[in-house]
Structures are given as structure tokens and as C-alpha cells.
Structure 1
């Protein structure tokens, strides 16, 4: 050991710092003389990591035993992280929380990021930024990594943990931070803002003096792949197809990113693609290595794409069987997109693509078997809405939620008052103008979430819960009931305490206060003149204002301009009702005006003309108020005798038939 150490030290002193192969050779030579040389073992591990030989580094650590692992904790954790052993890596790196070792904290943050424990990763980066005085040169890297974590939180639906939504000036000075800000905007659905930031990231990357042309090309590829995704989401397929043709998938080193680029390319084609060829291209990608696995939300979309291509390729039985096996392992009610999206695909395969009433008939038996399947439930509700059967949709959703509400399982209660389900029911109520039911449902959901978050530090909950609370507060504020207004005030007060910078919460709190505001709080709201500064009221009025359809029993007014041209006064025009089959006459012709006198007896109608001599006499003498002609005298008979009394014979009575 004593002879090996000086040799290694002398070699390292004369070796180039980037010549890791020579350092590795020197370490191996020293270890041949003394296998227990701890310094040589450590140097060999570091050299292997520098050469990206992570599996070899792990083997060297195992050969060195516990002493080497204890002396090389950072290297051990990093080797585990880079080789894809993330669970083991995070267990080793967690010791950095106790020792405060910055190297271990960095590995812990990166490993938490790959394990999608983004909340923990964010906390570690906050800790590192609070101790930035220890390493001033790390500030830029910390900002880049923190921005990536914020973007992933948005993608995972935990955007309420992101403190900075809008990018700052420093975020627009480097292409990495601009790209992360763009991803965050895209995850929130702000596609236009995301596209602007993506273009900014491209310009900054091209203008960078620190990158070579090859490095710029490598950095631009993921930005372009993300840009194609945004263009497809916006429906700008021609631009997306053109940009996708400029991307060479073979030049992308990451297999997961390369596969996503290929999938985006399949969706950008304007002309209908051959589903069998698309299926072949989709499955031509090699297996993902352990160190380059896509995130869960990416895997979910890729899995859905695979099933959709199977459906287009008419592999209906295979899709139905595969998805049924997957759903059988998750029988409980859940709002997980991963499960509910597969449920919809399973229903599509079972119904063989049928929609409308035929689709409902095919899917309802599935819902009876999987009564807790929310994805299937929402699909049936959607089919009812498409067939204009809102009543059945409401009844089905109400019965499902009522059953969940009676459950004693806390998880079922979270599903019962999930913002998405509550919003669906509220939308159905609104389509039927059932305002009382809307208020009742929102108030019940708001009371549940307020009670649930009383004992938690996260008082506001997710972005969906916050939106639900705002909707409930607004609906209760419109009520004339003092109890409802008091509940609205409590909701907006809690929202304002949770998010002081939210103008909607502040406005609701001021509006629900019985005596208004003292002025200081109202000053924090944006001025109305600034909100409408860029709005042309005249142009909006000329363009027309969209209005909700009126109920069938409300009269519709004709346009004033049309009435003026006709020289008539504007009058309400009643909407014609469609006759039911029971009330439709046998000789009814669509589009033909119906007889206005059809309700009168036939003999009282103006166009009634009886036939025959008896009928004419009956019409002349039997019509009340008609003209009666005077009777003419009968002519006298020939001869001298005077005329007799009556000249007609009296008829006898008819016999019984």
C-alpha cells in the first residue's frame, strides 16, 4: 500500500485533468500491487464515472466493500442514479439531509426528480438555494433545475405547489430557463404563451457563444419536439407537419425523446394515414433503458396511443381483453387518468366503435358489471348528452354520486366531491336551468373540502379544488339568502388567506362583505379602465353577442333591422312546437299550414257546403240567424169548387227497425 500510493500520486500529479483513461490505468496499476489501497479504489471509481462507465463503477464499489462505499457516498449514490437504480440511489442520498453534504443533496434532488417525487425535489432545491453562499457559481444551475421541477409539478397536476407562475427577467436570459418556463405554460394549457417562450429559447440557443454547432443542434431538438406538440394542440397541422419534417429523429440521443418525436410526426399528417403502417412505425422503437424511462404522464399517453392504433387496425378483441385484464386489478372508484382513459378505450373496443343509442346499448351492460368505473360512467353520460338525453345523464350521475356519498371509505368521499365530477353535474344542471340544484351541489362540495383542509397545512388544495371553491363562493354570493352570503364570505376569506395575490379571491371577499371595503383592499384590485383598455365595445356590438338558447316556451324577437326594412313594428314570433305522434292528424303534411277552423264542428265552418236537396234545405232553414224565404201561395185547382185546406198528405210514423 505504501509503495502504491506514491506511484499513484506522482502519476496523478503529472496527468492531464481530462485524461481519465490514464488516471484509470494508474489506479489499476496501483491496485495490482495492493488491492486494499483505498485511495486507488476511490480514484478508479471517480475515473469510471468520468468515462460514463457507471455499471463498472458499481462493480468497483462492490469489490471495495463497505469501507469504500462509506468513503465514496457521493460517487456511490451518483453511480446508482446514472445506472437507473433510483430506489437504491435515493436511500443512499437521503443521508445528505442529515450531514448537509451538498453533493449528496444534489444527487437526492436529481433522483427524486426521476422518481417523480417532485415535491421532495423542490424542497431540496430550496434548501440548496438558501445556502447559495457556499457555492455562488451554482446559482444558474439551481435556477435551471428548479424550473424543470416546477414544470413537472404542473404536468403532474400539482401546480398549486409552484410559487412562481410567470417567468422572471432572469428566466428569459438563458435558453434552458426559457424552455422550462415554456413547458410550465404548456402544462397549464397556456399554449400561446408557451409557444412564445419556445421561440425565445430557440433564439437564445442559436445566439449562444458557449455552445458549438453540434451542441446547439442537440439542444434544439427537444425544443422543436415540444413546439410540434404545441402546434398540434392548436390545430395548426400544416405548420406542425413542416416543422416535424425538419426534425431528424435519428439524431436524438435519448430513446424516450426520439420515440415521442416519432409519435408527434404520426399525428401531424394532414392526409389520412395508413393505420397499419402507423402501427408498425409506432412499435419499431427499441425498449427504453432503465436510465431513460419516460415519465408517468408520458407513458400514459404512449399507452393510449398504442391502444388507439390497435383499434384503428381492427384489433378489437385483443384491445378489449387486454384492457379488461388491466381494469380488473383496479376495482375501486378512482379519478386516476391512467385508469379511466383505459376504461374508455375498453368501452370503445367492446362497442366496436358504435356511438349514439347503439353505443349506449352496448356499453350499459359493462357499467352494470363495473359500477365503480368512473371512466365508463362519464362515457355513458357523454353519449346521453350527444343524443340530447340530458335527463338520463343527470339521473345516472346523481345515482352514482349518491352511492359514493353513503360509503364510509374516505377515498370514496374524495372521489364523490372530485372537482371534475362536481363540475360535470353542475354543467348538466345548468343546461336544464336548474339553478337551485347548481347552488346546492357547489355548496355541498365546498363544505366538504373546507372541512377536509382544516387540519392540513395545505389549506387551499389542488388547483381544481381552488376553482371549485371560487365557483361555489360566486354562486352563493348571487343568492338572496343571508346564510348563503355568509358562507360565500367564509369561502373567499379562506381563499384570500391561502392566495393573497389572487384578485378573484380578494374581489369575492370584498363583494361578500356586508359593509363593502374600507378602500385599501379595493385598491389592490386592477382598475376597471385598465381591464377594458384594449376592448373595442363598438366592434363587439357590431359583431354580435353570443347568447344562451332560450327555453321553448319563451318568445323570440325578430331582429330590429329586419322589422324596420319591412316597415313593421318589432313583434315577438312564437316558436312552433313539434306535434307529438298522438296529436298528429292522419293527413298531416310537414310544412303545410293547418286549417285554423279545424276545432269547429264541420257544419259551423265557413267553407262547409252540404250536398243534396235535403242538405241544402237543412242549411237554409236550420242555420240559426239565416235568411228565411217567404212561402208562396199554392195555385188553385181547376173547377168551381173552393180550395181545400191542406194539399199534402200527413206522413205516418216510421216503424221500429
Structure 2
């Protein structure tokens, strides 16, 4: 073994850095002599990595005992390159980020496994160490992570919310800044950043024309999407025709480009043709898969194209399979999206919302805890103007989840999106008290530790709940709001919403409890009132604090006299609308619009008229009439109000 190791080491010393085939041959020769030589196996695995034979490298690590422990960095990198990012994260975490290289692998693997919060944390740690050679790469990768945090609904964890000057200096950072703006639906800003990225890329001198084209194509694909979202479909269609799809190397990007071109093209209005083109697009390999939010949208597009092609039964069947794979209730976007499209399939292209409700409501009896189905029915109720039914549906669903007591069910019950939906319905109904109560319950749940932590507490939900509690002007609620904003401030002491809420709450309950470093962040009172002229306000009519005899006289003297309203000239009536015997000099009766009996000068004629008038006049004399004779017990005799028996008609029958 020593001889083989020595010969291998001497060969590696003589070989060049690019001669990985020779290294692989030497390692294989050493392994034939001694299969337990870990150094030879290690050299072979490294050579396989350099030759981009990542699957063979992973197999080498899994077949040789002890090699994973000897070279964990290479093993984690091989797993990452073969598309097994989750396993790579486990290997890197087991080492605890022992080396800087392992931290880079951990960040990249966490990014690909869609654990963007972990990736952002690792990159912040790497950036804090200040290695100059890596500063540029870390800044680019951090921008990509921030964009993915925005797409995944965790925008509060992003380091940057708006592009800075340094982000627009290089085309990679400009492109990442554009993606972040697009994720926040800031399409105008995203278009500006995309144009900047394209111009910077075209101006590079160290790239060949082919390399520039490879970098510009994804930017152009993103521009098509932005123009479509901004409603500039004609421009998007024209730009899509300039994209050479076959030249896009990444199949995931090529697939998105072809799908977006179908959406932006007016020529593909035929749903059957769109369906054929959609399914003819190449599917990306395992190592180039879309992120979850992209896959969900693409699957949704596939179902929609199928529905437009009248493949209703197929969509209903495939979506039911997706729904059955997860227990209800769930917050999975893929499952809930499938539930919405399943409801669309069962509605069978109903013409009206009421007709769709008639078809979909029976599904609720089979799947009472289906979040996607419940939200679909809620939306249909809102479209028909029945907000009360929509609120009742959500309230009933929430009560069922609360009674279950299961931790995962409670996570769904207090999911920020569902809570926001119910609060919006309360707002439509004019029920601010119910809104505040619902927000307070949700904030209390997420602030307390609980078993199932499928998602972190929503910052937007906590801020809304704290603000609602402050508006109640109740001492207990204000104290609870102070605790909410205190927790937010402890997480991020630069958060303006947390600072404002903390000051608003503690200034009422306990001003001494405000953090000492918080006062430096608050603006001075003199600066806030620097542009206010007290004398001008008093002259405008602001009452003074103490009213003396002199001040009252001054205020009375400063009172403005309201100008007399100008009397509008009476409109001249056209002759065609005047009656024949109309006299313009004669004063018209002001009570002419009232019925004659309601006019003040009305006097009835005759005894009947006077008697009827007395009965109608309020306060008049009431005369009692004799009631018909009754039997014992107060019941009238049979025969009704006529009293006597009617004579039989001649020839009539009873």
C-alpha cells in the first residue's frame, strides 16, 4: 500500500492540473493493486469531479467505505452537482461548515433545495469575514437569494428591497436586482434593471459574442414576461419572435421561454394548437429543474390549456390524484392550486357564478377541509355579492380546525393568508371589532411556542395585529401590542414599523420601558414643528387654551361672517310645457303636489265626508260600535260577520 501511494503521489506531482485523465488512470491502477487505498480512491473521485463525471463520483463515494468521512467536501459537492441538493445540505451541516469551501457548498445546496433563508444566513456569514477575492461572487449570489426570498413569500428576510447604485454597475447584479423587483410586482423598475443588465453585458470586452448571447437570452426571456405583465402584449409578442429558442443552453429557461411565447402570441389563440405546442416543449433534466413556484405555475398553465381544450374529465382526474396525495387541510400551493382547478373542471365552464356554485357546493360535503376548494367558493360568494355567506363559510372552517386541536390544523387555521381573507370580508361588512379580534387571536397564536412550526410568523400579520390592538384604546390590548412590537424590534432594530409601534404602545403604558438606543432614532420635536407657525394657526381660528374676557372678544372679532348666498334666478319655463290657462302673475299653490284630502285648506262636504274626516283626523272623537254577540268563551257564532242567515237563492244548492 505504501508503494502504491508513493507511486501515485509521484505521478500526481508530475502531472499538470488539467491532465485529469492521467490522474484517473493512475488512481485506477493504484486501486487495482490495493482496493483499500483511500488515498487512491480519493484521487479518483476528485479526478471524476474535474471531468464532470458527477454520477460516477457519487457512486465512488457510496461504494468505498470510509471515503465519505475522508472527503466530505468533495462528497457534498458531488451530491450538489447531481441534483441531490437536500442530501448535500445534510452532509455539509454534519461538518458544521468546518471550512470556507464547505460553507460555499452549503449555501449553494441550500439555495437549490429552496431553503433560501438558510442560504441567506450563510452568505451573510461569508460576507462578514471580508475575503476580497470572494466579495464579488458573494454579492451576486446574495442578490439571487434575495430575489428567491421575494418569490417564495419571505421578502422580509431579504437584505435589499430596492436596487442600489452598486447593484447596477455589473450585469449579473443588475439582473438579480431586476428579478427581485419583478418578484415584488414592481415591473417598471424591473424593466429598467433588465435594460441596464443587457447594456452592461453587451459592453463587456472579456466575453466573446457567443458568450454574450448566452447571457443575454435569459434577460430577453425575462423581458417578455415583464411586458406581458404590464399589458404590453404587442411588444412582448414582437420581442418573443426574436428569441432563438434552440440556442438557449439551459433547458429550464428554454421551456419557460416557449411557454411565455405561447401566452404572449396572438397567433396561438386556438386552444388546441396551444395545447400541442405546450406539450412539445423540452422537459429539463434532473440537474436543471425549476423551482417550486415555477413548477406550480407551469402545472397550472398545463391544466388551464387542457380546460380550454375541453379536456375536463382529464383535468378533474389528474387534480384529484394531486389532492389525495396530501392530508387535508394543507397549505401546499401545489395541492391547493389543484383543488381550485378541480373545482373549475367540475363547474364545466358554467356561464355565471351562481351556476358554478351550484356545481361546486356538493364537493364541499366530500372535502370539507379542502383549503383550495373553500377559497374558491368564498371567491364565488364575493363575486355574487354574498359577503355574509363567504364569512360564515370561513368561520365554520376555522371552528372545525380549532376543535380538532391538531398542531398542523392550527397552523392552517392561523395561516396569514386565510386570516387576511376573513379580515377583508369583515371589512366589507363593516365589522371592525371582528377584524381586530381575529388579528389579535392570530398574533397571540404565532407569538407563543407551539409544536408544529411549518412556517415562521408572518411579519405583516404581526404588524397588522399590533396596529389593530393599538386602535382599540384598551390598556390590555395596548400592552399586548407593545409585546408584539417589542419582539419585532428585537428581531430587527432597524424596522421602522416595529419602532413606530413600540413607541406608540410604550408611550401610553410605560414610557420608561422604551429601549435607550431607541431615542436616537426618533426625530426631535423641534424638527417636527419647525414649519408650523402658531400665530398663523391662531389667526385662522384655533381657540386659545384659557378663555378670558379679552380673548373671547378677540375671538369673536376674528370670526368670519359667512357671505350671503346669491339667490339664483328662477328658470324660465318653456311655453310648450305651460297649461292653456296659465297665468304667470298668479301665485302657484305650494300644496299642489299633495292629494286634495292632505291639503291644509281641504274641507269635506256632506255628512259622510265630515264623518270620514273626523275618523282620519288625529285626536278626533272615537265612537264605539256594538260588537256582534258572542258565545261563552268569547268565540263568535258560526256564520261569520253577517250575523243573520242569508236567504237561499231560488233554485240554489248549499
Q: TM-score, normalised by structure 1?
A: 0.73
What secondary structure sits across from 2:508 in the alignment?
A: coil
User: What's 1:573 paired with?
Assistant: none
Instruction: Please list the CA deviations of residues 148-184 of structure 1 after superposition, one character each: whole Å capped at 9, or x if unmatched.
Output: 2232222222233333434444433322222223222
Name the stretch that deviates more: 389-398 or 480-489. 480-489
The structure 1 residue matched to 2:370, chosen from 370, 373, 377, is 373
User: What's 1:241 paired with?
Assistant: 237
User: What's 2:615 paired with?
Assistant: none
Kept after mapping to 2: 8 A contact 1:96/1:105: no
User: What's 1:572 paired with?
Assistant: none
User: What's 1:631 paired with?
Assistant: none
Kept after mapping to 2: 8 A contact 1:160/1:461: no
Taking the aligned partners of 2:569 and 2:265, their CA distance within structure 1 comes to 54
The structure 2 residue matched to 1:139, chosen from 111, 119, 135, is 135
C-alpha displacement at 1:315, in angstroms?
0.7
Taking the aligned partners of 1:529 and 1:316, their CA distance within structure 2 comes to 65
Taking the aligned partners of 1:428 and 1:189, their CA distance within structure 2 comes to 24
C-alpha displacement at 1:86, in angstroms?
3.6
User: What's 1:154 paired with?
Assistant: 150
User: What's 2:586 paired with?
Assistant: none
C-alpha displacement at 1:384, in angstroms?
1.1
Taking the aligned partners of 2:340 and 2:461, their CA distance within structure 1 comes to 25
Q: TM-score, normalised by structure 2?
A: 0.73
User: What's 1:122 paired with?
Assistant: 120
Taking the aligned partners of 2:519 and 2:79, their CA distance within structure 1 comes to 59
The 3 A distance-change label for structure 1 pair 43 and 450 is: closer
User: What's 2:582 paired with?
Assistant: none
C-alpha displacement at 1:141, in angstroms?
1.9
- In the alignment, structure 2 segments of 5+ residues that lack a partner are 531-564, 572-591, 612-645, 648-654
Taking the aligned partners of 2:430 and 2:153, their CA distance within structure 1 comes to 31
Kept after mapping to 1: 8 A contact 2:407/2:452: no
Instruction: Please list the CA deviations of residues 165-208 of structure 1 after superposition, one character each: whole Å capped at 9, or x if unmatched.
Output: 34444433322222223222322333333333222222222222
Taking the aligned partners of 1:250 and 1:106, their CA distance within structure 2 comes to 32
C-alpha displacement at 1:11, in angstroms?
6.5
Kept after mapping to 1: 8 A contact 2:79/2:87: yes
C-alpha displacement at 1:461, in angstroms?
4.4
Taking the aligned partners of 1:193 and 1:219, their CA distance within structure 2 comes to 20
The 3 A distance-change label for structure 1 pair 485 and 605 is: same
User: What's 1:268 paired with?
Assistant: 264
User: What's 1:182 paired with?
Assistant: 178
The 3 A distance-change label for structure 1 pair 237 and 529 is: farther
Name the stretch that deviates more: 33-42 or 317-326. 33-42
Taking the aligned partners of 1:13 and 1:523, their CA distance within structure 2 comes to 66
User: What's 2:358 paired with?
Assistant: 361
Pairing of 1:464-543 with structure 2 (within 5 A) = 465-512=458-505, 513-514=507-508, 520-523=520-523
Pairing of 1:170-209 with structure 2 (within 5 A) = 170-209=166-205
Taking the aligned partners of 2:234 and 2:313, their CA distance within structure 1 comes to 35
Name the stretch that deviates more: 27-36 or 113-122. 27-36
Pairing of 1:269-308 with structure 2 (within 5 A) = 269-270=265-266, 273-308=269-304
C-alpha displacement at 1:114, in angstroms?
1.9
Instruction: Please list the CA deviations of residues 286-330 of structure 1 after superposition, one character each: whole Å capped at 9, or x if unmatched.
Output: 443221221211111111111111111111011111211221232
The structure 1 residue matched to 2:111, chosen from 106, 109, 113, is 113
Name the stretch that deviates more: 190-199 or 346-355. 190-199
Taking the aligned partners of 1:23 and 1:105, their CA distance within structure 2 comes to 27
The 3 A distance-change label for structure 1 pair 14 and 564 is: farther
User: What's 1:223 paired with?
Assistant: 219
User: What's 1:252 paired with?
Assistant: 248
The 3 A distance-change label for structure 1 pair 526 and 147 is: farther
What secondary structure sits across from 1:372 in the alignment?
A: coil
The 3 A distance-change label for structure 1 pair 31 and 402 is: closer
- In the alignment, structure 1 segments of 5+ residues that lack a partner are 531-562, 570-594, 607-617, 626-655
Taking the aligned partners of 2:208 and 2:3, their CA distance within structure 1 comes to 44
User: What's 2:381 paired with?
Assistant: 384
The 3 A distance-change label for structure 1 pair 480 and 278 is: same
The structure 2 residue matched to 1:408, chosen from 405, 408, 411, is 405
User: What's 2:584 paired with?
Assistant: none
User: What's 1:66 paired with?
Assistant: 65
Count the aligned residue pairs: 548
What secondary structure sits across from 1:330 in the alignment?
A: coil
Kept after mapping to 2: 8 A contact 1:31/1:37: yes
Kept after mapping to 1: 8 A contact 2:262/2:268: no
User: What's 2:638 paired with?
Assistant: none
Instruction: Please list the CA deviations of residues 202-221 of structure 1 after superposition, one character each: whole Å capped at 9, or x if unmatched.
Output: 22222223322211111122
Taking the aligned partners of 2:446 and 2:86, their CA distance within structure 1 comes to 34
The 3 A distance-change label for structure 1 pair 504 and 60 is: closer
User: What's 1:46 paired with?
Assistant: 46
Instruction: Please list the CA deviations of residues 388-419 of structure 1 after superposition, one character each: whole Å capped at 9, or x if unmatched.
Output: 12222222222222222222112222222222
The 3 A distance-change label for structure 1 pair 567 and 377 is: farther
The 3 A distance-change label for structure 1 pair 443 and 91 is: closer
What secondary structure sits across from 1:235 in the alignment?
A: coil
Name the stretch that deviates more: 420-429 or 178-187. 178-187
Taking the aligned partners of 2:173 and 2:525, their CA distance within structure 1 comes to 30
